[in-house]
Structure 1
Amino acid sequence: MVGKALETLFIKIWVIVKLNLFFWLFSCCGLLIAGVGPALKTVNELFIRHEFNYKDITLKEGWQSFKENMIRGNLLFYGVGILLLILGYNLFLSVQIQGLLFLVIDFILVFGMIYSLVAFQYTLLLDSYYEIDLINLIKLAVISTLSSFMNLLKIAIGVGLIFLITWKYKGLFLFATFSMIQIWSFTATRSWRQTIDQRLEGYA
């Protein structure tokens, strides 16, 4: 019993490490600038297809997915990046002004940044899970984030804790951080994706 539990634990750790190394490899293949977005999307797709079946997660399949995700992955990544840059700059200006009104504005901007990051995670997951055009993908991601505040909170807190642990143990940045974020987002939104599947079956 203990041996089986340890085997399962080691398999999960290996999948996390393997996917994170794939992320860095593919990001470097895109010279980081054009690689991070497609690499994140590729890691998502590989985990959604195979979960913890580590033997099925191959470099060949990952490379094929990375090439297919080049345009879409960068559109999603830089889209949210520009939005975060705008919100971050406005937050930078707002925190320099004192007053209750600007404190409220600060809170709204911080929430907007967190919401944007969670919505980005939803777009990666939903785009890997369903065949959907870009506009409807964004609409579905927005609906998904608004459908359950608890799911939004779970993703935000989970990602925050992962970065906090990474800040303390810097080695995780290379071996675990990004794959853990994708796996946690997948796990946290499982119930919502099941709800979408049920509704799609109702329309079929």
Structure 2
Amino acid sequence: MVGKALETLFIKIWVIVKLNLFFWLFSCCGLLVAGIGPALKTINELFISHQFNYKDITLKEGWSSFKQNFVRGNILFYGTILVLAGLAYNLFLSVQIQGLAFLMIDFLLVFAMIYAVVTFQYTLLLDSYYEIDLKNLLKLAFISTLSNFTNLLKIAIGICLILFITWKFKGLILFGTFSMIQIWSFTATKSWRQTIDQRLELHA
């Protein structure tokens, strides 16, 4: 029993490492600037398709997925980056001014940045999980983040915890950080995706 548990643990660790290495490989294929978004979407799709069946997660399938996701992945990634940049700039301006009203604005801007990151995670997951056009994808992602505040908190806290651990152990940047964020987001939203599936079945 202990041996089986250790085997399962090592398999999960290997999947995390493998997906994270795929992320860096595909990001470099896009010279980082054009590769990060598609690479994140690719490791999402690979995990959703195979989860911890590590033998089925192949470089060939990953490369095919990366090429298909190249445009859409960059649109989602840089759309989020633009939103975060705008919010960060406004936060920079807001913190220069003292006063209770501006303190409240600071908190709202920080929350908006967290909300944008979580919404981006939802777009990656939902786009990998369903066949959906970009406009409806964004609508569904916004609805998803607003409909279940608990899931929003779980994703946000999970990402913060992973980043904190990464700050302590820098090697995770190469071997685990990005894949762990995607896997955690997938796990945290399981109940909501089941709800969507049930509603789709009712309207089928």
Aligned length, in residue pairs:
204
Partner of 1:12: 12
**Aligned residue in 2 for 1:37:** 37
CA deviation vs aligned residue, 1:46-97 (integer Å, no higher than 9, x gap): 0000000000000000000000000000000000000000000000010011
> Which segments of 5 or more consecutive residues in structure 2 lack a partner in the other structure?
none
What's the CA shift for 1:31?
0.1
Match of 1:143 in 2: 143
Amino acid at match of 1:89: Y
C-alpha RMSD of matched pairs (Å): 0.2
Specify the alignment match of 2:115 in structure 1.
115
SS in 2 for 1:80: helix
C-alpha distance in 2, partners of 1:161/1:92? 24
Tell me how far apart the structure 1 counterparts of residues 183 and 151 of structure 2 sit (CA, whole Å): 14
Q: Percent identity?
A: 81
Residue-by-residue CA offset, 1:134-172 (whole Å, 9 max, x unaligned): 000000000000011000000000000000000000000
Aligned residue identity for 1:49: S
Instruction: State the 1:106 CA deviation.
Output: 0.2
* 1:121-146 CA-partner distances (Å, limit 9, x unpaired): 00000000000000000000000000
1:69 partner SS:
helix
In structure 2, what residue type is equivalent to 1:144?
S
> Which residue does the alignment assign to 2:22?
22
The one-letter amino acid paired with 2:141 is A
Partner Cα separation in structure 2 for residue 155 and residue 55 of structure 1: 28
TM-score if structure 2 supplies the norm length? 1.00
Instruction: Give the deviation of 1:191 after TM superposition.
Output: 0.2
Q: 4+ runs of 1 displaced by more than 4 Å?
A: none
Unaligned runs of 5+ in 1: none
Counterpart CA distance in 2 for 1:93 and 1:25 is: 37
